[in-house]
Amino acid sequence: MGQHLKKKRFQAGLRQAQIARKLGVSSRTLSLWECDRIYPAWAFQPRLIAYLGYDPFTETGLPNSKSNEPSVVAFFSTDAPATIGQKIRHFRLKSRKTRQQLAKEWGVSPKTIWGWEAGKREPSPLLRKRINSELLYASHCPGGSFPDS
């Protein structure tokens, strides 16, 4: 990602501060992106795509850099999610929700959502039943929200 940003900036002959202002981020953030020290969060991807004029997030082979998002932010696997944690993560990303937002909706902590997604924990049988119902409901009614029980 960093090389895309740096190349575009050099071609335009602009300084980091100028591009950072245009993208609505600090110069430090742009510097970290350009050095591949952190990876842009979801919220910035549309701006970066517009700035670059193409979508660098669909390219594979990005370097192993420190990230403020999971490495799968750039692209989705074509494989169907297999575990409940993968299904939750897929649902959350497709719904464009943060862990905090989903946790609040489901009445659990963001750390719990993270544990499920990371495969470190599993929902209780009661919660698993409700989550599976919500995932099934969402797959049949895109954009719909789960009715409160």
Does residue 2 contact residue 32 with C-beta atoms inside 8 Å? no
Token digits of residue 16: 């980091």
pLDDT for the residue numbered 104: 93
pLDDT, one tens digit per residue, over 82-99 is 788 888 888 888 888 899
Helices of type H across the chain: 2-12, 16-23, 27-34, 45-52, 84-94, 99-106, 110-117, 125-140
Does residue 85 contact residue 113 with C-beta atoms inside 8 Å? no
pTM, full prediction? 0.43
User: Using CA atoms, how far apart are residues 10 and 145, in angstroms rounded to an integer?
Assistant: 45
pLDDT, one tens digit per residue, over 35-72 is 988 888 888 888 888 898 888 877 544 444 444 545 44
Which residue's structure tokens are 């100028």? 18
Does residue 68 contact residue 38 with C-beta atoms inside 8 Å? yes
Domains of the chain, earliest start first? 2-68 (1.10.260.40), 84-140 (1.10.260.40)
